[in-house]
Amino acid sequence: MSLPAGFTAPTKDARPLHLVERDDYAQWRTRQPEGVHRWLDAHGFDASAGSVQVLPGADGGIAGAVVGIGDPLDPHGCAHAPFALPAGDWVLADTLDTPHLRALQLGWGLGAWRYTRFRDATRAPARLVVDPLDAETADLLAASLRVRDLVSTPTEQLGPAQLEEVVRGIAQQHGARFEAIVGDDLLAKNFPAIHAVGRASHRAPRLLALRWGEEKHPHLALVGKGVCFDTGGLDIKPADGMRNMKKDMGGAAHAIALAELIMARRLPVRLTLLVPAVENAIGPDAYRPGEVLRTRKGVTVEIDNTDAEGRVILCDALAYASEQKPDVLIDFATLTGAARIALGPDLPVLFANDDALADAWLGAGESERDPLWRLPLWRPYLRYLTSTVADLANAGPSKMAGSITAALFLERFVPAALP
């Protein structure tokens, strides 16, 4: 197996790398030669998180380096190192236990990543000697970088058809079953909401479905919002709001990569992955404010705002997923800017209708140093989605609680008994 960027097999030229927590720095320092003391003091090194200091050799070259880390179980604690250290090969000076080693390897691999499809890398990352790279960490890293690569790819190279090829390729690699329902076939097979959002684009909308695993295992359904570009539709976004909308398929990227990870680790689940993939474009056939759509579930939806399109395509996918009676249904979506305004870029929002599962996810996030933050499904806010001509509207006049109302909209398409 080839190693990801930032890693190498053992080499004789690798220089020692010391990872030091700030609280342990004084004790570590006492074990170093006097010349190292003076060098570190002269450079003001204190092992604070993110600090890096090379150590000189007798010949004036680089003899090693010391990196300050915060929480040793946080992969982000050393993610800066591959480009903060001089290029070359580095080997850990001290043995780490398995949890700390996994966190280091994952963080190193994340930090070594750069998106280089359209330009050469400005420099190579420093390479960490691994003997070997932990297999579980390698799979987790590959899935994480899959998300980054997909989200970073411009829409011209990653429209609905190209996203289909990604999922098809993953299915073939892992022996999964794959199906794509494309264009007007969406209407024939009762996915009208997906079709409505994507019909204005010359790149046909589609629903991608991957199925894997044995019937005897618990059934996990993953759904990911695949809006490959979002102009806002006829309710067009301003330029600064549209600039980064290639990332509006981030939910699909996450669901796809998670499915890939589950299959790579051969976890004992029966997996269904559903990705509604569209471009929300402007054109003569664009869906319009004021239209009423009859969704797959039969619920009628008045389009108040064409820029609230993610929930519209997801409602058909969620209804379809629910028909298959999974044990657990998880939906990933870049659903609202309101979520980012509320929690910023580091805390993903979690909505859940099952407290035990929510607590498990929150606990897993804490243990992995990748936290989530739960927001309530506050049902009185459904009043913001009322319609005089349909069962509900996809948005409303109020700008308050935007992420909560989006989640409440989606909840309408999932049975209450399905977690």
The set of catalytic residues is 237, 311
Residue whose entry in the numeric block shows the structure tokens 């309710």: 235
Helices (H), 280-401: 310-323, 337-343, 355-367
The structure's pTM equals: 0.96
66 and 55 Cβ atoms separated by less than 8 Å: yes
Q: What is the SS3 assignment for 402?
A: helix
Q: Choose which CATH entry (3.40.630.10, 3.60.90.10, 3.30.420.40, 3.40.50.720) describes domain 140-411.
A: 3.40.630.10
- φ, ψ (nearest 5 deg) of residue 31: -90, 0
List CB contacts of 392: < 8 A, sequence separation 6 or more: 299, 300, 301, 302, 382, 385, 386, 409, 412
Write out residues in the chain with pLDDT < 50, as ranges.
none
Distance spanning both ends of the chain, measured CA to CA: 38
CATH architecture of the domain covering 7-133: 3-Layer(aba) Sandwich (3.40)
Q: Cis omega before residue 132 (within 30°)? A: yes
Residue whose entry in the numeric block shows the structure tokens 């690798």: 14
Instruction: Give residue limits of the domains in the chain.
Output: 7-133, 140-411
List CB contacts of 121: < 8 A, sequence separation 6 or more: 114
pLDDT at residue number 93: 93
* 158 CA to centre of own chain: 16
Q: Cis omega before residue 72 (within 30°)? A: no
Are the folds of 7-133 and 140-411 the same? no
17 and 65 Cβ atoms separated by less than 8 Å: yes
How many whole angstroms separate alpha carbon 192 and alpha carbon 362?
35
pLDDT at residue number 58: 84
pLDDT at residue number 121: 87
